[in-house]
Amino acid sequence: MKIIVTGSLGHIGSPLTEQLVKRGHAVTLISSNPDRQRDIETRGAKAAIGSLLDSEFLEQAFLGADAAFCMIPPDFTQPDQIVYYESTGKIYDHAIRKSGVKRIVHLSSYGAHLPSATGIITGSYRVEQMLNKIPAINLTHVRPGFFYYNLESFIGMIKTAGFIGAVYGGNDRLPMVSPLDIADAVAEELTLVGETRPIRYVVSDDRTCNEVATILGKAIGMPDLKWLTLPEDEVMKNLRDRGMRQETAEKLIELGMAIHNGKLRADFDEHPPAFGRVSLESYAEEFAHVFHRN
């Protein structure tokens, strides 16, 4: 198969490309960084250097492909994350329609079943709805849980305050995922022969925030580490003091509240998937390495 992969050599794109090449597929990996071309080619893939925000470039890259993996790379320099998701989604919509590629695997998020009150996940909802309207394609939305590596954003807090704190915590449950498990699921979906599914959840583990703190704390030598639920105003002040835009901070808190009240995982709980291969305990070793390195 001729398969297009977006996301460059990132957390998902790199292991996904390696899997697909190993299986004998012709992979074109899209990257905006010309310096990545040699690395891409040494992995046995073809490099397509250009921007996902360039509709003509993307249309040409998709031409003749059997399948495409479509993700929206995080870009927190964008002043409005939802507008960024929508504008990128429109470019994907154009490229898919014009190129004629029929099998699409879109990286969405758990919580994308909700149209609002989910922070930046609202962007994933809107892109899902947009792609759903494209006729005559075979579309799967992959909805991963909370990325393990986002836990690393708490390292500074752990070192200075001695605890993890957010508007969610304690006994709130957090379905988490490794990019390796996402890559496994996407590779399977892209090359699947026969019946496909419109939605696929991907998680590696599912624990309470208290359990997460205990496991990470043990790995870093802080066995009494706690994950506290903090007031919204305290979290907002912390985010603003760190230089985050007001609107971005508001969306982040809105997302956190959707985790806290359980709304974000409501549809996930109705369609729970099997866990992937990377448990929280396995990830904790990586977390500890990053913790002690910084």
Do 121 and 14 share a structural domain?
yes
CA-to-CA separations, 290 to 3, 137, 220, in angstroms, rounded: 33, 41, 10
> Do the Cβ atoms of 7 and 69 come closer than 8 Å?
yes
Decide if 151 is inside a domain.
Answer: no
The mean pLDDT value for 128-157 works out to 98
What percent of the chain has pLDDT above 70?
100
DSSP H helical segments within the chain, as ranges?
13-22, 37-42, 55-62, 81-99, 121-132, 155-161, 179-190, 209-220, 232-241, 246-260, 266-270, 280-293
Do 263 and 185 share a structural domain?
no
Residue 98: Cβ within 10 Å count: 15
The string of pLDDT tens digits covering residues 28-83 is 999 999 999 999 999 999 999 999 999 999 999 999 999 999 999 988 888 899 99
> Do the Cβ atoms of 174 and 148 come closer than 8 Å?
no
Do 256 and 119 share a structural domain?
no
The string of pLDDT tens digits covering residues 183-199 is 999 999 999 988 899 99
**Integer Rg of the chain from CA:** 19
The mean pLDDT value for 218-228 works out to 98
Residue 294 has pLDDT above 80, yes or no: no
**Nearest Cα to 258, choosing from 51, 114, 106, 50?**
114
Decide if 238 is inside a domain.
Answer: yes
d(CA 129, CA 106): 12
Do 217 and 192 share a structural domain?
no
The string of pLDDT tens digits covering residues 259-286 is 999 999 999 999 999 999 999 999 999 9
pLDDT at 206 (0 to 100): 98
pLDDT at 194 (0 to 100): 84
pTM greater than the 0.95 cutoff: yes
The string of pLDDT tens digits covering residues 70-115 is 999 988 888 899 999 999 999 999 999 999 999 999 999 999 999 9
Strand partners for 105: 69, 140
Domain interval for residue 254: 206-293
Average pLDDT, the chain: 97
Do 113 and 35 share a structural domain?
yes
Strand partners for 106: 70, 141
Do 185 and 46 share a structural domain?
yes
pLDDT at 74 (0 to 100): 85
Into how many domains does the chain fold? 2
Do 190 and 226 share a structural domain?
no
Give the containing element (helix H, strand E) for 5.
strand 2-5
**Left, alpha or beta for 2 (phi > 0: left; psi -120 to 50: alpha)?**
beta
